[in-house]
A and B are shown apart, each in its own frame.
Chain A
């Protein structure tokens, strides 16, 4: 009882199932040149090929099948072999030439494929799409993979992707390197070496008999001039120092001018006093 009920349900299910297209006697062959011997492999709707089919630059892939509606061979309106590239999803359909008997044939070679397919890193997936008007259900089954074998001697196919509006890669300007100083140790060493020449100079002067014995006499003879003269020479150095640290040119020039006038005026007197000491044989 249970067995017959199950059988009845199964039969009802089979009858309920809409009519559908299918294909049979399907085979794929790869010929090295048109007409020469080919490697033939069979496939079916339930058993697609497991190994990818290699397609060289002069090879032609030939797919033959018989389209059937509900088991009877019939000519469908749509019989395509659609080849899909996995990276971008691009698809290219190839129409099968179908005779009234349902026998369908298509030949595909590398030159029929879009150039993006020839540059794809992964194998291409081919499916058979059979459909037509009316109630019968159409089918879209993957059947085999194609591996493109490019000719190593021929130049590689070129593909320039078309311009599409979108964000572009960021650019950050690379700046020239800032000027660098040598290590501070070296600078310190040489700075100290230079600074050491000053005491060396003064000491050597002392050894040669340097003295300021006539200072009292000079100040006694012309105190204001000498003080002003020597002071103005120190002041000029002071003006240069201010120029170095903060003043601008046109702040420096008037001050330097004033100090120069002072130097000249006091200098005549002060150096005149020095001259008088020279003329009196004290120098």
Chain B
């Protein structure tokens, strides 16, 4: 009875639990409140995921990202605005302070409006480069939608993006099937070389970006082309705040959410994947997916006959030690165990100043909201203060960095092998035995012997 009750309670708490791990106050900055209607399905999806949305225009004076030092919103969504700037409350510095305070930003751009200079400078702070003339359009004469853009080729059709290299967790292309993502009239960006920047959606190799006002005849000064153009770019700061730049705001509009499109040499009619893709991109940016947590860390001595209490503060040189870390991942509204992607590993570093060991942890067992990663290893033959360090930072996953400090002492005087076990010591032990028995014999002789009569030496007279 009690178990049934506790299970019911557990189920109830998991339903009532907060949806995003970092709050649900969402600010939407748009040009005109009437624009809400063109994105109604997207906002309805967000409200279904329990976000409390506030709609503001950049001209509104009551808009403030901070109040008395705390953030007033957890996430900000920017739709394209016609004004040159975003107002005094949304300066690039204010937005960077927002990111430093762990706020998330989802920024959308459009080829139809000139990008405000404050957004261009905000993105250049993050090493995401937009064309300097702020008016650009990505076209592709090979992968466009023939139903709606047969002449201008400005609606790109792309398959759902697979991870750019092995080992990255695939959040954006599951269950896509044959559906294509429509990218209408968007802006491509070029990402810097840093490790914090990751593209979600890259342009196909034949796409390129040009300025429709000045380069409508011929492209003389190319900004970027092919896979160097990032259509949906992300930056995850070291404090796990996320900034996503979606190159085309129009791909979030109702008319592209369940549209039918067709490619030049592809299947005749295909549905767009935009609704699900928008859900996943906003889910990643607003910390609903890709968030990791360490439940606990445990290490203990793994020697026969020795006590194995958890997390001791001292080990000895050359002890066998077992280390286990329990990881969980947030999946939309509840925590589940984190399964590391196929060719990737969670690694443990046992290090003093530099790692003495870097070991791959094996998945050991699965619990309700945890997966245990464990290994057994031998402590190096160096004494000192060591750290058990798990430093797991990957694209699209929040950072995990846990350090546990332990002392490693030398062998104690009675932990060395005994001399009778060392074959080289046998002559010396024999020597001790010889000395002892000789001494005892001498004592007995000295105390209990009678003097021997000296042989009379007869001196023969020599003649």
Contacts and interface: CB of A to CB of B under 8 A. Distances in A.
Contacts of A80: 208, 225
Interface in A189-206: 190-195, 197-198, 201-202, 205
Interface in B194-249: 194-195, 205-206, 208, 210, 217-220, 222, 225-228
B151 interface: yes
A167 B345 contact: yes
Given A93-B208, A138-B141, A170-B360, A191 B427 contact: yes
Interface in B121-148: 139, 141-142
Contacts of B429: 191
Given A75-B218, A138-B142, A237 B195 contact: no
A133 B438 CA distance: 111
B451 interface: yes
Contact of B423 (A184, A194, A215, A271): A184
Contacts of A212: 444-445, 448-449
Contacts of A201: 438, 441
Interface in B412-434: 422-427, 429-431, 433-434
Given A135-B150, A209-B452, A211-B449, A165 B195 contact: yes
Given A134-B151, A162-B195, A187-B424, A195 B449 contact: no
Contacts of A214: 448-450
Interface string B358-376: 1110000000000000000
Interface in B147-169: 150-153, 165, 167
A149 interface: no
A198 B434 contact: yes
Interface residues of B, number: 67
Contacts of B228: 91
Given A191-B429, A213-B450, A163 B208 contact: no
A2 interface: no
A91 B208 CA distance: 12
B395 A165 contact: yes
B426 A95 contact: no
A234 B444 CA distance: 11
A254 interface: no
Given A91-B226, A234-B440, A167 B357 contact: no
A218 B448 contact: yes
A75 B443 contact: no
Contact of B219 (A95, A173, A187): A95
Given A78-B208, A187-B426, A194-B431, A170 B358 contact: yes
B344 A195 contact: no
Given A77-B141, A166-B165, A213-B448, 10 more contacts: A93-B222, A135-B151, A138-B142, A173-B357, A181-B424, A191-B426, A195-B434, A212-B445, A215-B448, A230-B443
Interface of B: 139, 141-142, 150-153, 165, 167, 193-195, 205-206, 208, 210, 217-220, 222, 225-228, 264, 318, 344-345, 347, 355-360, 378, 380-381, 393-395, 422-427, 429-431, 433-434, 436-438, 440-441, 443-445, 447-452
Interface of A: 75, 77-78, 80, 82, 89, 91, 93, 95, 97-98, 129, 131-135, 137-138, 140, 162-173, 175-176, 181-182, 184, 187-188, 190-195, 197-198, 201-202, 205, 208-215, 218, 226, 230, 233-234, 237, 270-271, 274, 282-283
